[in-house]
Amino acid sequence: MKYDIEKIDEAILALLGALEFDNGRVWKRLNFDAMDRLHANGLIGEPRGRAESVYRTETGLQRAKVLASRYFAS
């Protein structure tokens, strides 16, 4: 089955919106290619390195909150 990469990236960003801690940090143990794409699109900080979390950019933070609400709010 072929998946829509843009939809996958959007869902991951929604998860980042729902799973934040410490005022904007999120764990980065998700698909590396997807995390690289989110970084290339200016939505998260550098996902590579020793840290186990990554910051979302201001744009990424705002978009992640909207997506998290859309997908996960009860």
Cα 55 to Cα 46: distance, rounded to the nearest angstrom: 8
Strand partners, 27: 53
Structurally, the chain folds into a number of domains equal to: 1
Asked if the model's pLDDT at residue 62 lies above 90, the reply is yes
Q: What percent of the chain has pLDDT over 90?
A: 28
Instruction: Determine contact, residues 56/64, Cβ cutoff 8 Å.
Output: yes
Domain residues for the domain of 41 are 5-72
pLDDT tens track for 16-38: 888 788 888 887 777 678 889 99
Q: What percent of the chain has pLDDT over 70?
A: 97
> Looking at residue 31, what is its pLDDT?
67
CATH of the domain at 22: 1.10.10.10
Question: Strand runs (DSSP E) across the chain, as ranges?
Answer: 25-27, 53-55
Cα 12 to Cα 17: distance, rounded to the nearest angstrom: 9
User: What is the signed CA dihedral for 62, 71, 21, 24, rounded to 10 degrees?
Assistant: -10
> Looking at residue 19, what is its pLDDT?
77
